[in-house]
Structure 1
Amino acid sequence: MENRELHPNLQAALQLVEGIFQMLGSRYEVILHDLSHVESSIVALAGDVTHRKIGGPVTNYLLQLLQKYGDSAPNSINYRNVTTDGRILRSSTIFIRDENGHIVGSLCINQDLTDYIVASRLHQEMVSFQHPAEEDEAEELFAHDISEVMEDMVRTELGMVQKPVAYMQKEDKLSIVGNLANRGIFDVKGSVEYVAECLGVTNFTVYNYLKELRVKNK
């Protein structure tokens, strides 16, 4: 990650990361994001719940919150997450703003609940006549590179169409671009090129789709 000058409010939060982690313990992870650089937003972390590193990217969930709400994005406290290896987390995302209310970063805390949930389920099996219901998986991806975030978002949208790209009509591709725009993918550098490649169209076509969608939404 390149040397960068952090906003003073992020500098202040930077001093809290290690202390919060030490207070909470080893089953937690505390991460500070500089949201002016979504491709390499992680500027500080303590703990190793999601195995990410300094210089890692923003998550798809954060991108989606920012795209949907902008600077009005609410804090998201104690929501459920599932990692790619099946561990169950309780997560919180707290936004950090400047003096004008603009979001400059976020402090994210992840707690690994897997062992507690396994123990709870074992207890339930001992005292219950039926198995507990399966829990739904969360949609947040803890990636090590921003390209993983983009790939997951595009793969999900392509899967929803349920036809090969070669058989897609303009309406299919326009819908995919619109959904990806709503999820905030086009805030990521290089995303237009990646989406164009996946859809088998030119960069110019993707820009035209975005322009058409803006006009339609007005």
Structure 2
Amino acid sequence: MSEYNVPFTDEDHRILSSCVTLVEGLADYLGGGYEIVLHSLEDVEHSVVKIINGHHTGRTTGAPITDLALSMLSRIENENRPGYISYFSRNKKGEPLKAATIAIRGVGGRIIGLLCINFYLNTPLSHLLDSLCAPAQQSPAVTETFAENTRELVVQSVEQARAQVMADGSILPSNKNREIVALLHRWNIFKIKDSVPLTAQALDISPNTVYLHLRNVRQEEDA
């Protein structure tokens, strides 16, 4: 069973703090129809440590935990659930919502917080569609590579970088391979094991040449 208002360890604080970025990322991705709340069980009277789109309930940082959140926590603990529960509910305005409560565990597996996601079912369809459409000023859509293994990921990334560089007429032919390596470096491809020899093979150059380009790129970054 979770204990409330019990001081956290430093590690507990780090775990909960790391979830703040998760809240921000989810809210940005899902849009204004979702209220995302991060609760800390260290102080249930001021449990809300992060909330986005709080206008749905009028809550702000420092608000207390709700009776429903505590009820969902009890169900997670007592009903052999995997650490989360989804349900339908209404806020105090009577607005219908679909919600999820996800337990956050700290040192020793103790539940130290809750991530609550509330989707308001009365959100206008136009608002939902707006959140799915790229803004006019956004750069072209980014391509994601789905590979079955890291070798395939490296090879596909090299081909993607090559296509991008070759299509840029402002890059001199003698600098093409260097720019491909620079792109792969920015994409963190060279953090993958055996990425240098795979890149060299795909570009038909030596591994030493890849290392040379990579070293020059890193030196320019540090300059």
TM score, norm. by length of structure 1: 0.46
Larger Rg: 2
The structure whose RCO (Cα within 8 Å, separation 6+) is larger is: 1
